[in-house]
Amino acid sequence: MRHWIEPTRVLLVDDDPAFVGRAKEALSSLVCLRTVSSGSAALSTVPLWKPDVILFDLLMVDIDGFTFLERLSERSLEHHPHLLCITDGRGAGTRVCPLPNWRVGTLVRSSGVHELRSAVRQAIRWRNSDVSVLDYGSCRRTIRPTAQN
């Protein structure tokens, strides 16, 4: 009997065609990649497709990244995907505050193909570790999903 190993599933939530194209170039041979352009579409996709990693834009078309995280954490999911928040890099050293039982990291939008691959590979390695925050680069400032942001 042959056993197939399912490839890692990565959901990309972004409406920037340039970044989506770069992500496809970087990740298509590494993972099973699915893209959606809004937070609402992502919230519908997650429970059905069960991604291992979600790359999401902090500034989405319909909801912001913090609302996305809150709504995602409110759901009773069988699994908790690893989360990489895409930032514009203006707040150098920015980190998104981790949610309980979730692994959250950041990735700068201007990252090239190599950096995208490295960040996703590192997120995949979280699976068997107890690290709760991925600092891809230096992170000196924390953003928390609260009303004052």
Question: What was the pLDDT predicted at 19?
Answer: 92
pLDDT at 90 (0 to 100)? 61
Residue 116 in domain? yes
Looking at the 3D structure of the chain, how many domains does it have? 1
Question: Cα-flanking dihedrals φ and ψ of residue 123, to 5°?
Answer: -65, -40
pTM: 0.78
Write the CATH number for 67: 3.40.50.2300
| pLDDT for res 5 | 64
**Are the C-beta atoms of residues 52 and 104 closer than 8 Å to each other?**
no
Main-chain dihedrals φ then ψ at residue 61, nearest 5 degrees: -65, -50
For residue 2, being part of any structural domain is answered with: no
- 46 occurs within a structural domain: yes
Structural domain boundaries enclosing 87:
9-143
40 located within any domain: yes
Q: Which residues of the chain have pLDDT under 50?
A: 1-3, 92, 131-149
Distances (CA, A) of 81 to 1, 3, 53, 99: 30, 23, 5, 12
Three-state DSSP at 72 gives helix
Decide if 4 is inside a domain: no
Asked if residue 58 belongs to a domain, the reply is: yes
Please give the Cα distance from 56 to 64 (Å, whole number).
10
Residues in Cβ contact with 44 at an 8 Å cutoff, skipping those fewer than 6 apart? none
Q: Is residue 3 situated within a structural domain?
A: no
Rounded CA gap, 74 and 118, in Å? 29
Residue 4 and residue 37: Cα distance in Å, rounded?
Answer: 30
Question: How far is 130 from 135, CA to CA, in rounded Å?
Answer: 14
Is-contact 56 85, C-beta < 8 A?
Answer: yes
Answer whether residue 26 is part of any domain: yes
